[in-house]
Amino acid sequence: DGLAYLDEVENRIRSRSGYKTDEKINFVGLDDYSGNVRSKGKTGADRIAVLFAEGSINDGEKSDDFEIASKDFVEEIRKVAKNDRIKAVVLRVNSPGGSALASEVILRELQLLRKKKPLIVSMGDVAASGGYYIACQADSIFALPNTITGSIGVFSMMFNAEKLMKNKLGITFDQVKNAPYADFPTATRAFTPDESAKMQAIVDTIYSTFKRRVAVGRRMSEVMVDSFAQGRVWSGTEALGLGLVDGLGNLDRAIASAAAKANLKDYRVVTFPEPNDRFESIMRRLKGTSVSEEVVKAAVQEQTGQEFELIREIKGLRNMNGKAMMAMPFRLNIQ
């Protein structure tokens, strides 16, 4: 529209905003503005909470920005449940899954939340395996047409480092135990046939639980669930045809559905977990970690670029060791 110096721009703002000459202008930063935007400009006391579940699902406390840590996430769910001003909840899921135990812990807390308030799920790019597990018992589920979902299945793995330790490092192991399974599972030797059978039985039991959770949440038989389960993935459009989701739509549609379910006309949207500023994010990363380690991590990320994600996934294999996992056993790269 024209050329102007900063002082001229400020004077124009003053003239249009009713400020006196030389009066200080109270500018609002983008972070402050976005944090106070109300849905459709409404200022009602009632709230709809959008609970973001993004990243792999892991046990315990959060150690990475792109992670759903069961302990921390349960605390967020309880905050939402206890807040009387929040009348409905939208769970925004963007997760390929992860720990079966963590997924069960989170689902249990969501079940308790749903007894108090309507719970609607909005799926992002991926809501598969454990990501679908935590979503399957919501009142309604909305996906995007190209959402990757499903992957109803369970697997487990255990690394055997016996030959590596013996042949490369000259280290061998001897066990003294007072029960047949006292050292089970272990990475220092191969499983016995009986131990392998027990591990498979654990996986089968958890898989049956997965199918049962989906059957209850989607109001269908376990036989029907098994017909499209077995670890297979589906697009959002395919999932709609199978009954895995209730409709196609973005986050706005899920929020509108939550408002209708709670009979809300005047409301505002709040997000959980609350976003951290840059300083808080840095301090959280440094918590329990040496500065030198963070510097090395940043340097490796800069040098490896996109391959850094593969390094993170390899590191994440440690979380899978000996655990039952509800996760996609492959990596999708859609271009």
pLDDT of residue 38: 47
Q: Which of 90-99, 164-173, 192-201 has the highest mean pLDDT?
A: 90-99
pLDDT band at 10 (very low <50, low <70, confident <90, very high): confident
User: Could you give the angle at the alpha carbon of 252 between the alpha carbons of 250 and 258, nearest 5°?
Assistant: 110
The pLDDT > 90 percentage for the chain reads: 49
pLDDT of residue 291: 44
pLDDT of residue 310: 63
pLDDT band at 292 (very low <50, low <70, confident <90, very high): very low
pLDDT of residue 75: 94
Of 106, 100, 101, nearest to 121 by C-alpha is: 106
Residue range 316-335: average pLDDT?
62
The reply to whether CATH 3.90.226.10 applies to domain 40-151+232-275 is yes
**pLDDT at residue 158 above 60?**
yes
- In the chain, ranges of CATH 3.90.226.10 domains: 40-151+232-275
pLDDT tens digits for range 81-137: 999 999 999 999 999 999 999 999 999 999 999 999 999 999 999 999 999 999 999
pLDDT band at 12 (very low <50, low <70, confident <90, very high): confident
Cβ atoms of residues 126 and 98 within 8 Å: no
Q: How far is CA 126 from the centre of its chain?
A: 10
pLDDT band at 40 (very low <50, low <70, confident <90, very high): very low
Residue range 231-246: average pLDDT?
96
Task: Give CA–CA dist 196/97, Å, rounded.
Answer: 24
**pLDDT at residue 73 above 90?**
yes
Question: What's the whole-number average pLDDT of the chain?
Answer: 83
Of 104, 109, 101, nearest to 82 by C-alpha is: 109
Q: Residues with Cβ < 8 Å from 151, sequence gap 6 or more?
A: 96, 97, 128, 129, 132, 231, 232, 233, 327, 328
**pLDDT at residue 68 above 70?**
yes
Instruction: Examine the residue annotation and report whether 129 is marked as an active-site residue of this protein.
Output: yes
Catalytic residue, candidates 70, 103, 129, 257: 129
pLDDT band at 282 (very low <50, low <70, confident <90, very high): low
pLDDT of residue 309: 63
Cβ atoms of residues 10 and 25 within 8 Å: yes
Strand 148-150 to 233-235 pairing? antiparallel
DSSP string of 79-142?
Answer: HHHH-TTEEEEEEEEEE-EEEHHHHHHHHHHHHHHHTTS-EEEEEEEEEETHHHHTTTTSSEEE
Residue 127: CB atoms within 10 A of its CB come to 35
Cβ atoms of residues 80 and 47 within 8 Å: no
Q: Residues with Cβ < 8 Å from 131, sequence gap 6 or more?
A: 53, 57, 93, 94, 95, 96, 97, 149
**pLDDT at residue 41 above 50?**
no
pLDDT of residue 83: 94
Higher pLDDT among residues 181 and 198, named by residue? 198
**pLDDT at residue 287 above 60?**
no
pLDDT of residue 54: 93
Q: Quote the pTM value.
A: 0.73
Task: Give CA–CA dist 35/229, Å, rounded.
Answer: 40
pLDDT of residue 277: 52
Query: Using the 8-state DSSP alphabet, how is residue 272 labeled?
Result: E
Least confident of 24-28, 84-88, 234-238, 263-267: 24-28
pLDDT of residue 288: 47
